[in-house]
Structure 1
Amino acid sequence: MDVGKNMIYKGFLNFEILSGIEHLKNLIEEMEKLLNARTESFLVWLDKTANSLSEDDKEVLYDIYIDEYFDLKKDFPNTLRRAFISLSYSFFENQLKSICKSIDSNYAEKIPKNKNIPNIKLYIDFISKEKDIDLECKSDILKAIDQYRIVRNFLMHGYGLDASKNKNVLEIVKESDELIIENDVLYISQKYVLDFIECIKDYLLYIADNI
C-alpha cells in the first residue's frame, strides 16, 4: 500500500473505530437510562399504592412485588451489561479481523489454527508480524483485555452463575471495584462495561496509528 493510500486507510480506520465505539457507549447509556426510568416509575407506583393500604396490606403488597423490584434493580441491568460485554468484545475481534484482511486478503490461511489461543491473540500476532510493529508494548492494555475476555467467556458460557467456583474470575473480582459476587452470581457495573469499551478503543487506535 503506497503512502497516500495508507493515509486514507488510516483516516477511514480511525473514523470506523471511533464511530463504532461511540455507538456502543451511547447505546448502553441510553438503555441504562430506560431501565432506571422504568425502575423509578415502578417505585412511584408501588409507594403510591402502598400509601392507600393498611400496614398489613402494605407488607403483603411489598412481598408480592419484591421479585419484580430486584429484577428491575439488579438482574435486568446485569443482563444488559453482560450483553454489552459480549457485543463490545465482538466489535473488537471484528475490527482486528478487518485490519488483518486489509493487510492480506488471504490472512486466514496464514494464521495458525489453534483452539487454545484466543482469536484476538492470533489476529494481533499476525498484524504485528506483517507490519513489523510491537503490539505487545501496550502490556497493561493487553492484560486488561485478557481479563475482560475471561469475564466475557464466563458470562457467555456460565451465565455469570457459580462465580465463586471459577478461580480466574475470583482473581479478577479481587482486583476490581466494578465487579461483585452475590449469591454466587457475578454482577458487573455500568462503569466496568464503559471501561472495557475505552480499553479496546485505545488499543485499536494505537494499531491504526502504527500500521
Structure 2
Amino acid sequence: MSSLRLPATDHTHRAWRVHEIAGDFRLEDVWMIPTPGGPDDLHHLVEQIAADGDEKPTGADAVGRFLFAVRWKLGALLGWDGPESGVGDRVATLRDRLPDDLREGSRGPDSAPFTSIFQTHDEWAAEYANKTMHGVMHIGWVPDGHGGYRGQMAVLVRPNGRLGSLYMLGIKPFRYLGVYPALMRQAGREWRQNETRRRAAH
C-alpha cells in the first residue's frame, strides 16, 4: 500500500456527515493529504483545491499529466463528459438529500469539474457525474496523531451500470500507481508554498 493511501476504515469509522447522504455510493479510495496544520485550517485546503479546479487537473509529474490527458481525450471521443450526462441532468444533485442544517449552512466553493455539496468545519464534499458514474470527492480534516491536523480525501462512486463498473475497474491501477499519489504530493507542495499566506491570514 502506498504511504499516502489509507485503509477504508479511516473514512468509514469517522462520523462524517457525508455518510447521511451517500449511503448508496461505494468507497473507492482513501488518501492522506500531506497538509499539516491546526484544527481550523480545513478552509485553507478547500480554497487551495478550488483554485486548482479552475483548470482540469494535470497531476504533478509526467505520469499524472499523461494519464489525465488520455482520460479527457477519451472522454471527449466517446461523449462521456457532455453536460447532458452531468449532475442535474443524468443524476440528481446530492444537495437534494441534505438535512436542513447542512442545506442552510455553507455550501463551499465549486472546483471544476466538481460542484460543491456542503462544507463544515472539518469536511467538504463535492460531486461530479458523467456517463460512467456519479462521484463524490470528500475532503476531511483529521488529527494526524502527533498533535496536529491534516487533510484526507475519500472517493465515493456510484457506477452507471455495466459501463461504469468496467470503467472504474479499468482505471483502478492508474489511480493507485499514478494519478492520486501525484495529486496528493502536489497538494502537499502547494500547501507548503502557501504557508506564508496562511500565516498572514491569521
Which has the greater radius of gyration?
1
Greater per-residue helix proportion:
1
Compute the TM-score of the two structures, normalised by the length of structure 1: 0.23
TM-score (norm 2): 0.24
